[in-house]
Amino acid sequence: MKIKVLSLVLLLIGVTSCLKNQVEGVQVLDVSKYEKKMTQPDVQIVDVRTPEEFAEGHLENAINIDITADDFDTKITALDKEKPVMVYCKAGGRSAKASSRLNELGFKNISDLEGGIINWNSENKPIVK
């Protein structure tokens, strides 16, 4: 009986770990939808990676606000909460945390790049160095 319960628990953990941690009010967009939305007026594109990662290549018109920096909240609240904010990172983990924080801070229109810049690069989309 213990083995069956343990097996069920492990199965549930495995299944739920594959699900995305999607925050209500945040759109997780694939590369093509993200790229299309980037062209809309007043979009604020935020790369939440480290400055070193940002320097290696980033999306056009992106600003760098490092999610791991102590001043993240200060810098992010300088953005306009009424305008769309589009975030991305390397693979999606840090941008998911940033999206959640933006949501908590009252931002209205938040989009997160599914799979981060890794997915962007895999589709040979342009980056700026």
* Bridge partners (DSSP) listed for residue 28: 112
Angle (CA) 7-9-14 rounded to 5° is 95
Catalytically active residues, by annotation: 89
